[in-house]
């Protein structure tokens, strides 16, 4: 994932307004009263803060935000990003998207988002710790964090390290709070994190794409065969989401023909080895000049390559009205938040491009964050209580089968049957089931009304209906 904004073109207009426009377009396909729609649409709480930190012999004032978009379900949930591109408009937009994203995948949270306006590369680890702990203290003062109130997570520019600092700060302010670990997700495993969280968003992208291309009827409309095998893929961004999306797509027999990053892009029609590219960039600082791959000087040019699937996994606004007409992909899989602008979407849809929206496709992260939150509240690792018991039961079953048929099962069959589910197995299974179910809910909504123009609108309609049902069940609206 890029670490500055050169890869990101100037926004055509407000990101938050884009989300509102998507909402309004979808709301026309519902029958809910205007007051209820207004409540679902609005950002409920916005905390804009400034706080000082010491850098050497100077004082620097940091600007930061936390937005809670919807309180229809608590806690609210959303990542914290560290970036110079952080604005109030962006944080509001991402918080709103999180509300609807949670509803799409049936995660019982309201949406939230946080942002600290810094370039983390320009600060030492000690300075970043001070910023993170002070930001957390500000959230605590206003009741903007807590296991039942607001649960942050990692996002662009943050990771498990920052989440550990947040947990420690929250625990210091709340001594004896038995559920303190549930105040934040994306933590290191030894602090209550969950196996599978790091790769969750990328794995969710893979599950969603795999399900979409498995429907032969839909693939025929865009002149593709069903299945991932042999599909050519371009991935923009080799950060956490881009790397894991590309890795799992490659393991699913897709061919990664190009990877783009801030320094440029590389192309090989025969396919790139994702792990080797990742390792090469880590060692050299660049993906350019990788083995026999062709260098592409401008990262944005990779988006315009001939391919079956384009996976923008960097920042928002990557495909806009300026370059949309040159996009040749048949499927655009939005692994990032808001990578396709509304103007670009109109151009692409007229050409029959299938867009799998961020509202659905990158919901893997919050889904597994939900699993981590549940783990922290239950105070037990998934699989710990039943793993050994299930292995013993399965061994008894194998012995009985072999005795009945008079021969031994293969070693591989025994291995699969005997394996008691580990935490990662349970997490990945839950994520896979979630993405499959949500995809077909979105597709069915799209097919049920010929006036719904695309999957994004269908996903918004589903989300609005689910949130409205929560308010109506509480008797808050007639």
Q: Could you list the active site residues?
A: 113
Please state, in angstroms and rounded to a whole number, the distance separating the CA atoms of residues 426 and 327: 38
What is the DSSP code (8-state) at residue 230? T
Q: H helices of 266-333, where?
A: 274-284
Q: Residue holding tokens 């799209």?
A: 446
Contact by Cβ (8 Å): 25, 104: no
Return the HEC string of 428-475: HHHHHHHHHHHHHHHHHHHHHCCCCCCHHHHHHHHHHHHHHHHHHHCC
Return the HEC string of 337-370: CCCECHHHHHHHHHCCCEEECHHHHCCHHHHHHH
Please count the CA atoms within 13 angstroms of the CA of 259 that sit on its side-chain side. 32
Q: Is 184 helix (H, G, I), strand (E, B) or coil?
A: coil
- How does DSSP assign 70-84, residue by residue? --SSSSEEEEEEE-T
Contact by Cβ (8 Å): 118, 80: no
Please state, in angstroms and rounded to a whole number, the distance separating the CA atoms of residues 274 and 292: 14
- Distance between alpha carbon 391 and the CA centroid of its chain, in Å? 33
Give the H or E element holding residue 393: helix 387-405
């Amino acid at each position: 994932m890029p670490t500055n904004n050169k890869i990101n073109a100037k926004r055509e207009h407000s990101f938050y307004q884009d989300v509102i426009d998507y909402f309004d377009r979808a709301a026309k396909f519902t029958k809910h009263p205007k007051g209820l729609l207004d409540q679902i649409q609005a950002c409920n709480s916005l905390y804009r803060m400034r706080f000082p930190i010491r850098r050497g012999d100077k004082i620097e004032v940091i600007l930061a935000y936390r937005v809670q978009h919807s309180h229809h379900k608590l806690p609210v949930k959303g990542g914290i990003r560290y970036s110079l591109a952080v604005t109030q408009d962006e944080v509001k937009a991402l918080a709103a998207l999180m509300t609807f994203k949670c509803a799409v995948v049936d995660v019982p949270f309201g949406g939230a988002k946080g942002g600290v306006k810094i370039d983390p590369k320009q600060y030492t680890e000690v300075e970043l710790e001070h910023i993170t702990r002070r930001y957390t203290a500000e959230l605590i003062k206003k009741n903007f964090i807590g296991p039942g109130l607001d649960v942050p997570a990692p996002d662009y520019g943050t990771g498990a390290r920052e989440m550990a600092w947040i947990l420690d700060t929250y625990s210091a302010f709340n001594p004896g709070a038995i559920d303190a670990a549930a105040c934040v997700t994306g933590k290191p495993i030894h602090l209550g994190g969950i196996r599978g969280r790091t790769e969750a968003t990328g794995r969710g992208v893979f599950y969603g794409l795999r399900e979409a291309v498995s429907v032969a009827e839909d693939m025929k409309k865009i002149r593709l065969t069903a299945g991932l095998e042999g599909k050519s893929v371009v991935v923009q961004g080799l950060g956490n989401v881009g790397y894991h999306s590309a890795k799992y797509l490659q393991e699913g027999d897709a061919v990664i023909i190009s990877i783009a990053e801030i320094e440029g892009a590389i192309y090989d029609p025969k396919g790139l080895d994702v792990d080797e590219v990742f390792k090469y960039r880590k060692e050299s600082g660049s993906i350019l000049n990788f083995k026999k791959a062709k260098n592409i000087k401008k990262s944005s040019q990779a988006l315009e390559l001939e391919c079956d699937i384009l996976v923008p996994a960097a920042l928002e606004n990557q495909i806009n009205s300026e370059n949309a007409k040159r996009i040749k992909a048949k499927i655009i899989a939005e692994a990032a938040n808001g990578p396709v602008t509304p103007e670009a979407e109109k151009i692409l849809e007229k050409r029959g491009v299938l867009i799998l929206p961020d509202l659905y496709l990158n919901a893997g992260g919050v889904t597994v964050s939900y699993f981590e939150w549940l783990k922290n509240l239950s105070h037990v690792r998934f699989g710990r209580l039943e793993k050994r018991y299930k292995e013993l039961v399965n061994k008894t079953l194998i012995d009985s089968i072999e005795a009945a048929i008079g021969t031994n099962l293969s070693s591989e069959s025994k291995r699969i049957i005997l394996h008691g589910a580990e935490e990662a197995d349970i997490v990945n299974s839950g994520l896979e089931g979630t993405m499959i179910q949500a995809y077909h809910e979105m597709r069915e909504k799209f097919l049920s009304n010929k006036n719904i123009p695309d999957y994004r609108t269908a996903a918004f309609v589903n989300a609005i209906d689910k949130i409205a049902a929560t308010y109506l069940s509480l008797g808050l609206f007639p």
